[in-house]
Structure 1
Amino acid sequence: MDRFTAWIAEISNFIWGIPLMIILIGGGLFLTVRLGFFQFRYLPHIIGQTFGKMFSKSEGQGTLTPFQATTSALASTMGAANIVGVPVAIALGGPGAIFWMWLVALIGMGTKFSEVVLGMHYREKNQKGEYVGGPMYYIKKGLGWKKVAAFIALALMIEIVASTMVQSNSIAQTMSGSFGLPPFATGLIVAFIVILVTYGGIKTIGKVTEKLIPFMVVVYLVSALAVLFVNFKEVPQAFAMIFEYAFRPLSAAGGFAGAGVAAAIRWGLARGLYSNEAGMGTAPIAHSAAITSHPVKQGFWGVFEVIVDTLVVCTITALVILTSGVWKTIGPDEASTMVTEAFTPIYGSSIAGMIVSATLFLFVITTVVVIIFYGEKQAEFLFGTSFSKWMRFVYIVAIMVGAVGGLQFIWQFLDLLLALVVIPNVIAVLFLSGKVKELTADYFANHYPVEKQAKKKGGNAHVRTASEDGNR
């Protein structure tokens, strides 16, 4: 068994190295160019349609508000990757890794936007009257690749079993270390919360994440900004290091072992790709439930996701680590403690640990809730709504098993199964890029001028087009 798991791990590490970086970054570049660098050309408009309309009512058909759909999608990306993953990237790649993280985020906007637009366009109503969508739907309906769609749905459905175990174990270890709570007790608490939230379906999930995600982000950012305020003299130097060491090696210092340019690129790209999940096909599952008058308008919320998750939260984490100097004294093996150590001089060790632990707890709770919803949607696509309830039971059991560290050999399949989802999804999105371009052109020809005119007059305007509602 040890030889088998080592073999799986070796394959996973290889695939998630250069091959997937080429696919994801190359795909993102292709989509960015084909869509005319829209994320840069129309950034003020995108900001106005997302940050500027967080709490506005939307026109069109759907199950959730655009903001609820977005916070549901954000729930699966916000978490350990932002608080623990960034320190790991700096520990192994140096400050320059953050530059490459930014770069892949800007490129990933094209991929995330395209996925969400396609999810909206090819979505449909299920037996409950709720809107459902995602890669399995746009692959089946847009390309006619029914077997590929079924394969992706099956791989993601199974992958979420392993992912749920890993997330549950992560939170159990955190609560045990910070508060002395036994792992089994943590598993029971998480399972109970998940049952309560998922029982109400996507509407309840949307209502919970709409309140919890902004609260968590604000608490974490305010805590982090207080550290930056104390270390404000070091902020310019932190930015200088990010740009300087993105292009030249950095020698060893203290606990930092040193890093070349290749390491900065490798870890920066990996962290950027992992943090915003562009290309993974999960975001459109949540976004497809949104109320909107045009698929592209919800696509802008996909760009919003990348901005908040990677360009804001991950960047603030990086600045906290760099300005506090903890990256020089803590080695890669203990990189996950960097944020707590950076908070300690300001809040004290006990409060710093509580802030980080509580934030991680809430992040992981929302992540587990949303990925279980994703898993249920795969089961529904493959076998119908009744079977999805059985899969929810399987995921609840996985929470308990994962909390106590059981069946760890299954965890080895996590990255491999996810790669089996990512690769065909990105290929499908590239094949469907013509549809994305068509819908984008329709929006900017028919909706964008009206939105601009309405903004000048200080009112609201709406025009219907054939692409409206995304399911014709």
Structure 2
Amino acid sequence: MKTLNDLVLTIQHYLSDYVLIIALLGGGIWFTFKLGFIQVRGFGEGMRRTFGGLFSKKGNADKDGMSSFQALATAIAAQVGTGNIAGAATALAIGGPGAIFWMWIAAFLGMATIFGEAVLAQKYKQVGSDGEITGGPVYYIRAAFKGTFGKVLAGIFAVLIILALGFMGNAVQSNSIAAAFHTAFGVPQAAVGVVVALIALFVFVGGMQRIAKVTETIVPIMAAFYILGALIVIIYNYKNIPYAFQAIVVGAFNPSAVSGGAVGATLKLALTKGVARGLFSNEAGMGSTPHAHAVAKVDHPVEQGFVAMIGVFIDTFIVLNLTAFVIITTKSIPSGKTGAELSQYAFSTLYGKGGDIFIAICMFFFAFSTIIGWYFFGQANIKYLFGPKAVKVYSVLVAVCVVLGSLAQVDLVWNMADCFNSMMVIPNFIGLIVLSGTIKKLHDDYYQNFKKNK
């Protein structure tokens, strides 16, 4: 087991620190220039479509798909997870405040990548044998490569995402909830796992309609709750806000000048940890969120591309940034803590024991919504591989993983989840690059024809 774990860690090291950073940053730059800085030009329209959908009751989920906002809420449910609390803290503890600057860069470029993912997901979505709309990377990978190679590449992606997110990833999320509740309230982790699994199973069996209703309800509430709680801490420490900006910008290029307790922080660590954690937080280029954007009811694929970009913006530039600024303005990095414990410590500087309770509640919302989102992504690939009849078995297996994940942290499972997460980027990225011309054609068609005639 130790040998296997070491092998997994070695593979993950090279994937996350080299292959993925080069591929995803390179891909982000490619799509940014190819689409004429779409994340800037399309930002306003994305915001209008997102927040217009927030207050609109039109377009309930059914077999024909979800409303555009429900699709975004499902995507954000997966994006805004424990990584926004623990991931940002880990990047700060290892790479120093400068890691946040590189998270910003990764998110900005990722907005262009996720635009392309959503556009392709819309373009190649299909009606399954159960009559429901479905879509995702497996379908556009098959469109990019006809024949056996396309089938194999799509199959590899499907297996990886089911394992990485549906099973192992959801076990990780469950453990985060159970550990946080045990710390805050002393509740046995197993009991928390069973309750979370039962609630999740109730949502799963309700199909797309129930998933859409839950995510569109939970996501705005959890975002508002966290934003308010974090802003109170930041405003209380308002005198340190200029220091926070200085530490982030200076630390991005000279970490040793403002390491703030991040022992051994270097430019390489700040860059790699910031970019890696940023990419895994907003999921741009990973091939996960296209499953949600594929089922949105829109008149043109590019319309959902605009909405998808806002998901990355909310995840990184709002939620993850708030975590970072709470930690930096409270000067908590020198505490020596990392992960969720560092975030809890930072919030407790103002809220005391209430900081543990606040993080526990946020962990529940963030991780539970991620469980729902990741289940949905895995479900699309279960249907692709085995057909709709396999979904019930998949639902039960995910619930079992949620219970098992709450019991204890098994390093091998956690590390394999990260590794499979990284590996699934590769087939998705290949499909994106090969179909980049199709993305550009749809982009041009929207501006030159559809928008003018609308």
Is the TM-score greater than 0.5? yes
Q: Does 1:446 align with 2:449?
A: yes
Identity of aligned pairs, percent? 37
Question: Contact 1:134/1:285 (CA < 8 Å) preserved in 2?
Answer: yes
- AA aligned opposite 1:226: I
The CA distance in 2 between the partners of 1:373 and 1:258, in whole Å, is 40
The within-5 A match list for 1:454-469 is 463=454
- AA aligned opposite 1:282: S
- AA aligned opposite 1:6: D
- AA aligned opposite 1:230: Y
- AA aligned opposite 1:416: C
Question: Contact 2:250/2:257 (CA < 8 Å) preserved in 1?
Answer: no
The CA distance in 1 between the partners of 2:251 and 2:103, in whole Å, is 13
Question: Contact 1:77/1:277 (CA < 8 Å) preserved in 2?
Answer: yes
The within-5 A match list for 1:40-55 is 40-55=40-55
Question: Contact 2:227/2:322 (CA < 8 Å) preserved in 1?
Answer: yes
DSSP 3-state at the match of 1:17: helix
TM-score under structure 1 normalisation?
0.90
Deviates more, 1:277-286 or 1:46-55: 46-55
DSSP 3-state at the match of 1:81: helix
Residue of structure 1 equivalent to 2:158: 153
Q: Spell out, residue by residue over 1:396-444, the C-alpha distance to the aligned partner (whole angstroms, 9 max, x if none).
A: 1111221112765333321222233110101110100111101111111
- AA aligned opposite 1:95: P
Residue of structure 2 equivalent to 1:3: 3
Deviates more, 1:207-216 or 1:172-181: 172-181
Return closer, same or farther for 1:439/1:163 CA change in 2, 3 Å cut-off: same
Q: Spell out, residue by residue over 1:273-330, the C-alpha distance to the aligned partner (whole angstroms, 9 max, x if none).
A: 1110011101010111111111110111110001100011111111111111112x31
Deviates more, 1:155-164 or 1:18-27: 155-164
Return closer, same or farther for 1:253/1:417 CA change in 2, 3 Å cut-off: closer
DSSP 3-state at the match of 1:246: helix
DSSP 3-state at the match of 1:317: helix
- AA aligned opposite 1:193: I
Residue of structure 2 equivalent to 1:122: 124
Of 106, 109, 112, the match for 2:111: 109
Q: Spell out, residue by residue over 1:64-114, the C-alpha distance to the aligned partner (whole angstroms, 9 max, x if none).
A: 111111111111111211111111111111111111110110000111110
Deviates more, 1:165-174 or 1:303-312: 165-174
Deviation at 1:344, TM superposition (A): 2.4
The CA distance in 2 between the partners of 1:345 and 1:398, in whole Å, is 35
Of 381, 384, 387, the match for 1:381: 384
The CA distance in 1 between the partners of 2:376 and 2:44, in whole Å, is 33
Return closer, same or farther for 1:321/1:382 CA change in 2, 3 Å cut-off: same
Q: Does 1:225 align with 2:231?
A: yes
Of 190, 209, 216, the match for 2:215: 209
Q: Does 1:399 align with 2:402?
A: yes
The CA distance in 2 between the partners of 1:44 and 1:410, in whole Å, is 41
DSSP 3-state at the match of 2:65: coil
The CA distance in 1 between the partners of 2:411 and 2:391, in whole Å, is 24
Residue of structure 2 equivalent to 1:351: 354
Of 286, 303, 308, the match for 1:302: 308
- AA aligned opposite 2:162: M
The CA distance in 2 between the partners of 1:408 and 1:247, in whole Å, is 33
Of 407, 414, 419, the match for 2:417: 414
The CA distance in 2 between the partners of 1:77 and 1:17, in whole Å, is 21
DSSP 3-state at the match of 2:424: helix
Residue of structure 1 equivalent to 2:321: 315
Deviates more, 1:45-54 or 1:103-112: 45-54
Residue of structure 2 equivalent to 1:361: 364
The CA distance in 2 between the partners of 1:449 and 1:240, in whole Å, is 44
DSSP 3-state at the match of 2:252: coil
Residue of structure 1 equivalent to 2:285: 279
State the Cα RMSD in Å: 2.0
The CA distance in 2 between the partners of 1:339 and 1:324, in whole Å, is 10
Deviation at 1:258, TM superposition (A): 4.7
Q: Spell out, residue by residue over 1:172-218, the C-alpha distance to the aligned partner (whole angstroms, 9 max, x if none).
A: 21111111111211111011011111111121111111011110010
Question: Contact 1:93/1:263 (CA < 8 Å) preserved in 2?
Answer: yes
Aligned residue pairs total 448
Residue of structure 2 equivalent to 1:30: 30
Q: Which has the higher Rg, Structure 1 or Structure 2?
A: 1
The CA distance in 2 between the partners of 1:17 and 1:250, in whole Å, is 20
Question: Contact 1:172/1:403 (CA < 8 Å) preserved in 2?
Answer: yes
DSSP 3-state at the match of 2:85: helix
Residue of structure 1 equivalent to 2:255: 249
The CA distance in 1 between the partners of 2:412 and 2:94, in whole Å, is 26
The within-5 A match list for 1:7-18 is 7-18=7-18
Deviation at 1:338, TM superposition (A): 2.6
Point out where structure 1 has 5 or more consecutive residues left out of the alignment: 451-462, 464-472
The CA distance in 2 between the partners of 1:406 and 1:272, in whole Å, is 23
Residue of structure 2 equivalent to 1:330: 335
The CA distance in 2 between the partners of 1:449 and 1:241, in whole Å, is 46
TM-score under structure 2 normalisation?
0.94
Question: Contact 2:174/2:402 (CA < 8 Å) preserved in 1?
Answer: yes
Return closer, same or farther for 1:41/1:321 CA change in 2, 3 Å cut-off: same
Deviates more, 1:124-133 or 1:18-27: 124-133
The within-5 A match list for 1:59-138 is 62-138=64-140
Deviation at 1:340, TM superposition (A): 2.3
DSSP 3-state at the match of 1:357: helix
Question: Contact 1:140/1:149 (CA < 8 Å) preserved in 2?
Answer: yes
Q: Does 1:178 align with 2:184?
A: yes
The CA distance in 1 between the partners of 2:235 and 2:355, in whole Å, is 16
The CA distance in 1 between the partners of 2:262 and 2:92, in whole Å, is 9
Q: Does 1:292 align with 2:308?
A: no
Q: Does 1:436 align with 2:442?
A: no
Residue of structure 2 equivalent to 1:469: none
